[in-house]
Structure 1
Amino acid sequence: MLISKRERRPEYASGQAEMYKFIKDNLRYPTDGSCVVGNVYVNFCVEADGSITNIKVLKGLCKSCDAEAIRVISIMPKWLPSLEYGTKKPVKGYVTIPWYAH
């Protein structure tokens, strides 16, 4: 559900820089040689309790990279949920996961 009037958008609790550090620290590069350099675009729902559900790859690189992107998003700590008029609401979130040559 997209909210048009928000008091706060959903956000990673310790900020965007820490979110990308979490991704970098937890991302496991597949060893099957199938991955290329690029980005995996992922969307998901940040629920009212801050949990992440309904993780989907919008634009991927390869099956291994896409599966790993979903795994990393699924193990993230809870986010700060969106607030609309003081009420926590579920909304869609988006993350771009960069893949570099290894």
Structure 2
Amino acid sequence: MRPTIQINTILLIAFIYSLGVGKSIAQPESMGQTMPFFRGCSEVKKLDDKRECSNRALVNYLGAAIDYPEEARNERIEGTVYLSFVVDSLGKVGNVMVLRGIGGGCDELAVSILKEMPRWEPGIREGNPVSVKMNLPIQFALGKEGELEEQYRIIWENYADRPSLTKEEILNALNTPVSLLDEKGNNVVLSELTFLRTKKNKFKDASSSGQVTS
């Protein structure tokens, strides 16, 4: 069985948007209004593609920022933290609130991550930027008790165990195979590999599908 590598500390379930804080639930984006977009998708023009890019960029951001709290891990606390926040007309995130929490440090962690978000591209109504209230559920889930997470090591050029690479290093390694090794040093097949690029709080990603082992 091929192992699956995934972010298992969070699950982006859904968004509920309210355009104009305290007003009615927003109508579809095709009705002359758009919801906020997470940074990193400004060059995408088609609305549906831009929304998909925004959701993916947000998931990548959360996945990189969130680490399971030690208290919750030790107490095996699992569940969903429901939060609300506002993206104002300048794209700033504020008014972060926990609607329903689970404790164990998960609530505080989720709040701090949202407060530290970079600016969004603000929502638009009738051509003008507006404040948008958003609800976001974040699910924290542990594996089965006694089940150990498999550890893997990525080898690319001479960049093993590096958390990030410069643009020059990436360009120099483009034609070099990528290897993924398990704890015993065996090669593992990658079905998809995604790179996340950050620059000035903007996020872009690129994916490669298929077998990409050496």
Q: TM-score range by the shorter chain?
A: 0.7 to 0.9
Match of 1:69 in 2: 110
- Which consecutive aligned stretches of 4+ in structure 1 deviate over 6 angstroms post-superposition? none
Q: Note the C-alpha offset of 1:13.
A: 2.8
Can you give the 5+ residue segments of structure 1 that lack an aligned partner in the other structure? none
Maintained 8 Å contact 2:83/2:136: yes
Structure with more of its chain in strand, by fraction: 1
Deviation by residue 1:16-38 (Cα, 9 ceiling, x = unmatched): 11101111110122112346222
User: Structure 1 residues 63, 54: closer, same or farther in 2, change over 3 A?
Assistant: farther
Q: Note the C-alpha offset of 1:68.
A: 0.3
The one of 83, 86, 89 aligned to 2:124: 83
Q: Measure, in 1, the Cα distance between the counterparts of 2:133 and 2:95.
A: 9
Can you give the 5+ residue segments of structure 2 that lack an aligned partner in the other structure? 1-20, 41-53, 144-214
2:51 aligned with 1:12: no
The one of 90, 95, 103 aligned to 1:54: 95
Which structure exhibits the higher relative contact order, with contacts defined as CA atoms closer than 8 Å and separated by 6 or more residues? 1
Letter in 1 for 2:142: A
Q: Note the C-alpha offset of 1:63.
A: 5.1
Q: Note the C-alpha offset of 1:71.
A: 0.7
Maintained 8 Å contact 2:81/2:100: yes
| Greater displacement, 3-12 / 91-100 | 3-12
In terms of Rg, which structure is larger? Answer: 2
Relative to the length of structure 2, the TM-score reads 0.44
Maintained 8 Å contact 2:77/2:104: no
Match of 2:82 in 1: 41
| Greater displacement, 19-28 / 64-73 | 19-28
Q: Measure, in 1, the Cα distance between the counterparts of 2:65 and 2:139.
A: 13
Q: Measure, in 2, the Cα distance between the counterparts of 1:19 and 1:61.
A: 22
Q: Measure, in 1, the Cα distance between the counterparts of 2:76 and 2:96.
A: 20
| Greater displacement, 39-48 / 12-21 | 12-21
| Greater displacement, 13-22 / 48-57 | 13-22
Helix, strand or coil at the partner of 1:79: coil
User: Identical aligned pairs, as a percentage?
Assistant: 24
Relative to the length of structure 1, the TM-score reads 0.86
Aligned-residue Cα RMSD (Å) equals 1.9
